[in-house]
Amino acid sequence: MTLTSRVDSNGTGEALITNRKAVPLTAYLIQIFLEPCNPSPRPEVFRAWDSVATPGGAPVAQLQSRTEPLGIAHCNKVGVSVPGRAELKAAIYEDGSSFGESKWVNSLLDCRRFELEQIETVLTKLRGQAGRAPGKSLEADVNEALAAQEKKSFAFSCPLDVRELAMQKLKAGIDAHTLELFEGLRKTLLSSRPSPR
């Protein structure tokens, strides 16, 4: 797997992530560097991608690439800017093999476990609508249950924001497709390698 930092036609940084392995790439974590124009340090910025936790997501096949926008650091001086660059921290392949420091690989796997836990909470609430407290909407019930789980902290945002997806679907009105979507995500996560359990 290679990561190439480059500059697009607008002068903004982007990363080209290419899978060189015969096994499809299912997840990766990159660290983004936006160079400061003054000596004060910037906070660490990470971005994770995971085809397993993305509705309709597809792994990156051998010799295929994905592009990640990195942004640009603007200086106080007029017209001066520095494109972002990135560094690959970890990757997970479809067969369960991985690349990178175990701390970062484990962080990607912890995100999968957390997303699975949240998806199972949503499914429990969707299936058990009759057991809800009187006057409490399904949307409020799901939101409250997921908010209680969000106390876990990661160095980066998990690729799938289950709470946001659930709220979006519930606001549109619950239907069979909503249940199918969350059941499909659960099935995909459970069948991923290495296993999230």
Residues 25 and 81 in one domain: yes
- Given the structure tokens 């936790």, which residue do they identify? 53
To 10 degrees, what angle do helices 138-149 and 102-127 make? 160
Is 36 part of any domain?
Answer: yes
Mean pLDDT of the region 37-66: 87
Residues 145 and 95 in one domain: no
Last residue of a domain, one of 51, 84, 102: 102
Where in the sequence is the domain holding 61, given as residue range(s)?
2-102
Distance of CA 167 to the CA centre of its chain: 17
pLDDT digits (tens, 9 = 90+) for 164-195: 999 999 888 777 788 899 999 999 999 999 99
Please state whether the predicted TM-score (pTM) of the whole model is above 0.75: yes
Residue of higher predicted confidence among 142 and 27 = 27
Reported as a pLDDT band with limits 50, 70 and 90, residue 45 is confident
Is 197 part of any domain?
Answer: no
Residues 110 and 51 in one domain: no
CATH of the domain at 97: 2.60.40
Give the number of other CB atoms < 10 A from CB of residue 101.
12
Number of domains present in the structure of the chain: 2
Residues 98 and 113 in one domain: no
Residues 93 and 134 in one domain: no
Last residue of a domain, one of 102, 118, 133: 102
Last residue of a domain, one of 84, 102, 120: 102
The answer to whether 29 and 48 have CB atoms below 8 angstroms apart is yes
Residues 114 and 154 in one domain: yes
Is 30 part of any domain?
Answer: yes
DSSP codes, 40-59: SPPPPEEEEEESTTSTT---
Is 48 part of any domain?
Answer: yes
Residues 108 and 94 in one domain: no
Percent above pLDDT 90 for the chain: 55
Could you tell me where the beta strands, DSSP code E, fall in 43-158?
Answer: 45-50, 65-74, 81-83, 85-93, 98-100
Residues 97 and 149 in one domain: no
Residues 150 and 182 in one domain: yes
